[in-house]
Amino acid sequence: MTKSHRLRVLAAFGPALLAAGAVAASASNAFAATATAQPEGEALFTTQGSVAPQFLAGATTIPHWTFQYTDPTNGVTYPITMVGTDPRVGGSTTVHTVIIPLKMNFVAAGQDPSSLVGQGYPAFQPQFVNHTFDGTSKLSQTEASPVFSDYSYPTDLGGDAGQLGDVYMRAQFNKIASTYHVKLDYTMAPTQTLDVPSTKGIAYERPVSQWRQTHGLQTNADYTGLAEVNWFSTQLQSLMSSMQISATTVPIFLTDNVLLYIKGSPIGYQNCCILGYHGAAMPVGHGTGTLNGQGKQAVQTFMYTAYVTPGTYSGFLTDYTGTRTAPRPTRGLSDIHALSHEVSEWLDDPYTNNAVQPWKVASAPQYGCTRVLEVGDPVVGIWFGLNGNNLDTRNSGLWHPEDEVFAQWFARGGIEPVLGPTWDGRMTFMGPRTTSINADLYSGFSGYAHNC
């Protein structure tokens, strides 16, 4: 088992962001106006840990199945493990999850804001605050969302009905209107409190909120928490151990707009932000058993996700990037967007061990060249609306789940001879909606993945 934490995004920022961070850090006054806007940071998702296939035989864990395919473009055979049951066999699987809200307390205590000066737009001046973000406040929204409740989907997305992950899996394997299902049930755990040391996080008002207040478009500040990813991940591992969560249950740690940054110099807080991750590990205290699985070793899968406030990123509301009545097609970064990303990726790669031929897309440069089967990464921010979100007043009554790429895209034609094509042969859940966004960036999803 590889216990090291796989941050796939570190190399993705490239020279441009490093240069931007250096400019901000070199300002003689932390609050001096900058001549040009500094990047507000890409929306990122990652994974934590990995459990190799040989540890899964006989393991105590979630229901899963394995197949292999040969990529016709390089002749390499790849083993793949997914949640549920083999769609060739059919049947319905329900996986139990537990939603664990995190109450996170941040303090303003001498942190350096220089790396954030001019973020988003030139006049942006960051102000750190004492603030508490309580994921408990987002439980009702999460429970009512398409991730856990049944919704009807538009005809051009297959016209199916059910939970978001189930609908995605059924479309991926051309099982719409069949008895094949991969469903989630859930319970709510007591709120867990984390006090974030001043050296491990900040709370501040990001540029969209500040700009909108300045221009009279909103009256209240929207705050965002940033926690350092290594510190945060250690806290989650400790919670999973102390709470003794069964390895057959998937803990989902829920924050209210607390994102993660990757500590580094000279970039500082700008090396940001991770909105969610999923992972797998052999939990401490559960026992590891033997290599061949005769010990029934526990293998835990888990997720962290932020319930995202509208306007945390530009492009959702009217802001310094333009006036709009609906989010840009590539900026649906709100409400359950992060949760939908993580659930879909967990379904197709629960143990974060599914390797494919390396791929790279212009639509998600933050990931660079990568060899992981992570179905949300190529389409971060791309969204489709579902009616029924009546709890977030600035979301126009819509949920904003993320588009997802089907496994067949990564396999470059190798999966179809084994499992068959997707619903109507498309490569993403949104199909033509995805490819019509921008011909230069998204037309590549009309065919298979390209090499790096």
- Check residue 283 and give its pLDDT: 56
Task: Please write the tens of the pLDDT for every residue from 276-286.
Answer: 999 999 754 43
Q: Where are the beta strands (DSSP E) in 20-123?
A: 44-48, 64-70, 77-83, 92-106
Burial of 376 (0-12, 13-18, 19+ CB in 10 A): buried
Euclidean distance between CA atoms 225 and 296, whole angstroms: 39
Q: Which two tokens mark 103?
A: 């109450």
The answer, yes or no, to whether residue 10 has pLDDT greater than 60, is no
Percentage with pLDDT > 70 across the chain: 89
- Residue scoring higher pLDDT (11 or 43): 43
User: Is the pLDDT at 275 greater than 60, yes or no?
Assistant: yes
- Tell me what pLDDT residue 36 has: 87
pLDDT at 54: 87
pLDDT tens profile 345-375? 999 999 999 999 999 999 999 999 999 999 9
Tell me the average pLDDT across 299-313: 97
Question: What value, to the nearest 5°, has the Cα angle with vertex 353 and ends 349 and 355?
Answer: 90
According to the model, what pLDDT value does residue 294 have? 52
Q: What integer pLDDT is reported at residue 379 of this predicted model?
A: 97
**Average pLDDT value for residue range 408-418:** 98
Angle (deg, nearest 10), helices 337-348 and 164-172: 40
pLDDT of residue 31 exceeding 80 = no
Q: Is a pLDDT exceeding 80 seen at residue 29?
A: no
| Contact predicate 333/343, CB 8 Å | no
Report pLDDT digits (tens) over 239-252. Answer: 999 999 999 999 99
In terms of pLDDT, which residue wins out, 33 or 125? Answer: 125
Backbone dihedral region for residue 348 (phi beyond 0: left; psi -120 to 50: alpha; all else: beta): alpha
Whether residue 143 is predicted with pLDDT greater than 80 in this model: the reply is: yes
pTM score of the predicted model: 0.90
pLDDT at residue 9, rounded to an integer = 36
Q: Are strands 192-195 and 201-205 parallel, antiparallel or unpaired?
A: unpaired
Cα–Cα distance measured from residue 407 to residue 79, given in angstroms and rounded to the nearest whole number? 12
Average pLDDT on 267-294 reads 70
Mean pLDDT of 401-408: 98
Say which residue the tokens 């991770």 belong to.
274
Lowest mean pLDDT among 71-75, 111-115, 257-261: 111-115
Is residue 165 within a helix (H) or strand (E), and if so which, with residue range?
A: helix 164-172
Name the one residue in this structure whose structure tokens are 């909120």. 209
| pLDDT per position as a tens digit, 169-218 | 999 999 999 999 999 999 999 999 999 999 999 999 999 999 999 999 99
Q: What's residue 333's pLDDT?
A: 97
The answer on pLDDT for 232 being more than 70 is yes
Q: Model confidence at 2, in pLDDT bands (50, 70, 90)?
A: very low
Identify the burial level of 3 via C-beta atoms within 10 angstroms of its C-beta, where 0-12 means exposed, 13-18 middle and 19 or more buried. Answer: exposed
Q: What mean pLDDT value characterizes the chain?
A: 90
Q: What is the mean pLDDT of residues 38-49?
A: 92
Amino acid at 370: T
- Band of residue 15 on the pLDDT scale cut at 50, 70, 90: very low
Q: Do 377 and 368 touch, CB atoms closer than 8 A?
A: no
